[in-house]
């Protein structure tokens, strides 16, 4: 009897470990609620594509809501995720403030929150588990640094600002203006929001070019490529040469920006990587499994200007 048992033990051990592996693989996947800002820019649609593709690849049930850039729609979506009893909530907050009440309701429901792309300003950091997104202040610094080098530190600048109150608009401006403090020959003389859209960028740039001091403009800083591409249209319609009469630096690194640089109409784009789906769902699955994760996950990105555009364009994935 004893020798039979001894022979059976390894078999039992093997089948237990195989069962646990099988269990782990078929462990219930978290149901995830994601509130997306909208579809305002090429960056945003690439971000949505990355998130949806990764959820599908992992067989995750993703409840996805598009807020058309309205905070009240995001808050409604977050409340609906509570009602649906999702396991994890993730969202890209359109603006930094106004989230405490709904985040407290989510916390009371015991659902962990992951911030994607943009951060929030809250008094209680326990209202979310982690934030994965770019360093927007650094992106603003990189744009300012590149423009200072390109212009020898002399520029009369128009600024197309992103969505008022949003983390990227606030922080990109902060980083860019940090560089201006070190370059007294560079100053912003016009600044207005184009709400991160191409139409908004065109409209505001048209108004800038109609203003009495338009002639002094030598450079444009756009908080994203979509507004820069709209501004390029306005500059051309005003009979000026974008990229030459007005040097243009923007942020995101979307395909359209590379095409504009190859055409000599845009001079530099600071990359802001939207393809965070894989990293985001790694975090979500770790959170769902109750694992400890860092409170801040950074995203890697570079700077591309007119000298690199043609070589880099074929590599662009968004
Ligand atoms: C940046 C993202 C910004 C992009 C815009 O991470 O939040 O929002 O720069 C987008 O193109 O609209």
Does 138 or 298 have the greater pLDDT score? 138
CATH number of the domain where residue 109 is located: 3.40.50.2300
- CA–CA distance from 269 to each of 165, 202, 240, 274 (Å)? 22, 18, 20, 14
Residue-wise pLDDT for 187-236, tens only, equals: 999 999 999 999 999 999 999 999 998 999 999 999 999 999 999 999 99
Q: Name the average pLDDT for the chain.
A: 94
Q: Both 99 and 147 in a single domain?
A: no
Question: How far apart (Å, rounded) are the C-alpha atoms in residues 163 and 156?
Answer: 23
Residue-wise pLDDT for 264-293, tens only, equals: 999 999 999 999 999 999 999 999 999 999
Residue tagged 């022979």 (tokens)? 7
Question: How far apart (Å, rounded) are the C-alpha atoms in residues 91 and 94?
Answer: 9
Q: Does 76 map to a domain?
A: yes
- CA–CA distance from 28 to each of 17, 19, 87, 283, 284 (Å)? 18, 15, 11, 16, 13
Question: How far apart (Å, rounded) are the C-alpha atoms in residues 246 and 220?
Answer: 7
Identify the pLDDT of residue 16. Answer: 58
- Examine the pLDDT at 309 and tell me if it is beyond 70: yes
- Examine the pLDDT at 5 and tell me if it is beyond 70: no
Instruction: Count how many Cα atoms sit within 13 Å of the Cα of residue 169 in the half-sphere of its side chain.
Output: 20
* Residues 151 and 247: beta-carbon distance below 8 Å: yes
Cβ of 281 less than 6 Å from ligand 1 = no
For the CA of 274, the nearest atom of ligand 1: 6
Q: Both 81 and 146 in a single domain?
A: no
Identify the pLDDT of residue 221. Answer: 99
Q: Does 52 map to a domain?
A: yes
> Residue 314 — φ and ψ, nearest 5°?
-65, -20
Q: Both 141 and 267 in a single domain?
A: yes
Indicate the number of domains in the chain. 2
Q: Both 268 and 287 in a single domain?
A: no
Q: Both 90 and 170 in a single domain?
A: no
* Residues 101 and 108: beta-carbon distance below 8 Å: no
Residue-wise pLDDT for 59-107, tens only, equals: 999 999 999 999 999 999 999 999 999 999 999 999 999 999 999 999 9
Q: Does 41 map to a domain?
A: yes
Q: Both 45 and 111 in a single domain?
A: yes
By residue range, what is the domain housing residue 58? 31-133+274-299
Q: Does 146 map to a domain?
A: yes
- Examine the pLDDT at 26 and tell me if it is beyond 90: no
134 C-alpha to center of ligand 1: Å?
A: 10
Q: b/e map of 22-56 (b: 16 or more CB within 10 Å)?
A: eeeeeeebbbbbbbbbbebbbbbbbbbebbeebbe
Q: Both 179 and 144 in a single domain?
A: yes
Identify the pLDDT of residue 292. Answer: 92
Residue tagged 């579809």 (tokens)? 39
Q: Does 37 map to a domain?
A: yes
Q: Both 98 and 177 in a single domain?
A: no
Q: Does 305 map to a domain?
A: no
Cβ of 40 less than 6 Å from ligand 1 = yes
Look at residues 272, 290, 310 and tell me which one is the last residue of a structural domain. Answer: 272
> For atom 3 of ligand 1, which residue has the closest CA?
168
Q: Does 163 map to a domain?
A: yes
Q: Does 14 map to a domain?
A: no
Q: b/e map of 228-253 (b: 16 or more CB within 10 Å)?
A: bbbbbbbbeebeeebbeebbbbbbbb
Does 241 or 7 have the greater pLDDT score? 241
Q: Band the pLDDT of 298: cuts 50, 70, 90.
A: confident
Mean pLDDT of 48-67: 98
> For atom 8 of ligand 1, which residue has the closest CA?
44
Q: Both 182 and 261 in a single domain?
A: yes
* Residues 91 and 82: beta-carbon distance below 8 Å: no
| DSSP line for 277-291 | HHHHHHHHHHHHTT-
Q: Both 220 and 262 in a single domain?
A: yes
Q: Alpha-carbon torsion 127, 128, 129, 130, what sign?
A: negative
For the CA of 251, the nearest atom of ligand 1: 9
- CA–CA distance from 283 to each of 36, 116, 290 (Å)? 17, 10, 11
* Among the ranges given (9-13, 27-31, 117-121, 131-135), the one the predictor scored with the smallest mean pLDDT: 9-13
Q: Both 226 and 144 in a single domain?
A: yes
Cβ of 198 less than 6 Å from ligand 1 = no
Residue-wise pLDDT for 121-173, tens only, equals: 999 999 999 999 999 999 999 999 999 999 999 999 999 999 999 999 999 99
Q: Both 162 and 284 in a single domain?
A: no
Q: 310 burial class (0-12, 13-18, 19+ CB within 10 angstroms)?
A: exposed
Q: 94 burial class (0-12, 13-18, 19+ CB within 10 angstroms)?
A: buried
- Examine the pLDDT at 1 and tell me if it is beyond 60: no
Structure tokens at 282: 């790694």
Residue tagged 């429901």 (tokens)? 109
Identify the pLDDT of residue 272. Answer: 97
Q: Band the pLDDT of 8: cuts 50, 70, 90.
A: low
Identify the pLDDT of residue 19. Answer: 57
Question: How far apart (Å, rounded) are the C-alpha atoms in residues 259 and 312?
Answer: 10
């Amino acid at each position: 009897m004893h020798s039979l048992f001894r022979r059976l033990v390894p078999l039992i051990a093997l089948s237990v470990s195989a069962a646990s592996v099988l269990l782990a693989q078929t462990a219930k996947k978290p149901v995830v609620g994601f509130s997306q800002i909208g579809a305002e820019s090429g960056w945003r649609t690439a971000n949505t594509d990355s998130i949806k593709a990764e959820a599908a690849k992992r067989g995750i049930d993703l409840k996805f809501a598009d807020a058309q850039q309205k905070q009240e729609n995001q808050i409604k979506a977050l409340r609906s995720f509570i009602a649906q009893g999702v396991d994890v909530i993730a969202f890209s907050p359109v603006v930094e403030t106004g989230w405490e009440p709904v985040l407290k309701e989510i916390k009371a429901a015991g659902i962990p929150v992951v911030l994607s792309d943009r951060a929030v300003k809250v008094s209680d950091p326990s209202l979310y588990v982690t934030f994965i997104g770019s360093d927007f202040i650094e992106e603003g610094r990189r744009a300012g640094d590149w423009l200072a080098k390109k212009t020898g530190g002399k520029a009369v600048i128009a600024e197309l600002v992103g969505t008022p109150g949003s983390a990227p608009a606030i922080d990109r401006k902060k980083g860019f203006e940090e560089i201006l403090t070190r370059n007294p020959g560079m100053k912003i003389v016009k600044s207005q929001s184009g709400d991160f859209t191409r139409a908004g960028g065109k409209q505001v740039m048209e108004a800038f070019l109609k203003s009495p001091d338009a002639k002094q403009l030598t450079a444009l800083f756009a908080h994203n490529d979509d507004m820069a591409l709209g501004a390029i249209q306005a500059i051309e319609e005003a009979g000026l040469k974008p990229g030459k009469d007005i040097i243009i630096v923007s942020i995101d690194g979307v395909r359209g920006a590379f095409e504009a640089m190859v055409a000599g109409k845009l001079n530099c784009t600071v990359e802001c990587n939207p393809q965070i789906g894989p990293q985001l769902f790694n975090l979500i699955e770790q959170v769902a499994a109750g694992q400890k994760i860092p409170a801040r996950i950074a995203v890697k990105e570079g700077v591309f200007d007119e000298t690199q555009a043609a070589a880099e364009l074929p590599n662009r994935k968004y």
